[in-house]
Amino acid sequence: MRFPSIPTLIRTFYAFSNTTLHTAPTFGLRALYQSPQRAIPLRSMSFLGALFRTSSKMPDTTKYPVQKTEEEWRAELGSKAYGILRNQNTERPGTGEFYEHAKKGEYKCRGCDHPLYLADHKFESACGWPAYWDSIAGAVGEKPDPTLGMMRTEIVCNNCGGHLGHIFRGEGNNTPKDQRHCVNSRSLKFVAEDGTVVEDKD
């Protein structure tokens, strides 16, 4: 499996947070050892590793209708989509085909073609990933995700168990339901009203 390089991760983290690493210390050696800034990059790297690499996977004993071997999934999806859908990786923000995608149609699971979201569910969240305020009824399941040192709620395709992203509630977004399905673009394929199918090219 291929992971982003460390410099790429650092650049990405800059995109996330313009507060942590921006202080460019110009102090001498003595100050270097005393500066609390020095420890921050190490903590940030640990955070980045947890964010973009395979998480410590919780065993999922649910029997989803679509069952395939890991070899079959890997061959069908390719490395990036496999890493996200089957190993809970997260794509880098702003890199997905559907982040600012606003066409009419339906978003399906890239792993099994199960319809997950309608274009009408999508809204602009400026978070770096496609965001939906609701899903097609029953299409998406929820699981507790304790990685990154916090409790989040993972969302999965209820037909194949593929990892989609996470759901956040109570953010005060101006949407019919106050929830944000934060979905990796590479977990999805889009079917336009004229039948055209679009998915990320990697």
Q: Which residues are known to be catalytic?
A: 182
Q: What is d(CA 48, CA 34) in angstroms, rounded to the nearest whole number?
A: 24
Considering only residues 159, 179, 184, 187, which one is a binding residue for Zn ion as defined by CB under 5 A?
159
Q: Could you tell me which residues come within 8 angstroms of residue 9 by beta carbon, excluding any fewer than 6 positions away?
A: 45, 48, 52
Question: What's the rounded Cα separation, in Å, for the pair 100 and 94?
Answer: 9
Rounded to the nearest 10 degrees, the angle between the axes of helix 6-16 and helix 39-52 is 100
Q: Of residues 162, 163, 185, 189, which one binds Zn ion by CB under 5 A?
A: 162
Q: How far is the CB of 166 from Zn ion (least distance, A)?
A: 16
Binding pattern for the stretch 107-146 against Zn ion, x by CB under 5 A and - elsewhere: --x-xx-x--------------------------------
Nearest approach in angstroms of CB 62 to Zn ion is: 12
Sole window of 13-21, 92-100, 146-154, 155-163 interacting with Zn ion (rule: CB under 5 A): 155-163
When computed from its CA atoms, the radius of gyration of the chain, rounded to whole angstroms, is 19
Residue pair 111/66 in contact (Cβ under 8 Å)? The answer is yes
List of residues contacting Zn ion (CB under 5 A):
109, 111-112, 114, 157, 159-160, 162
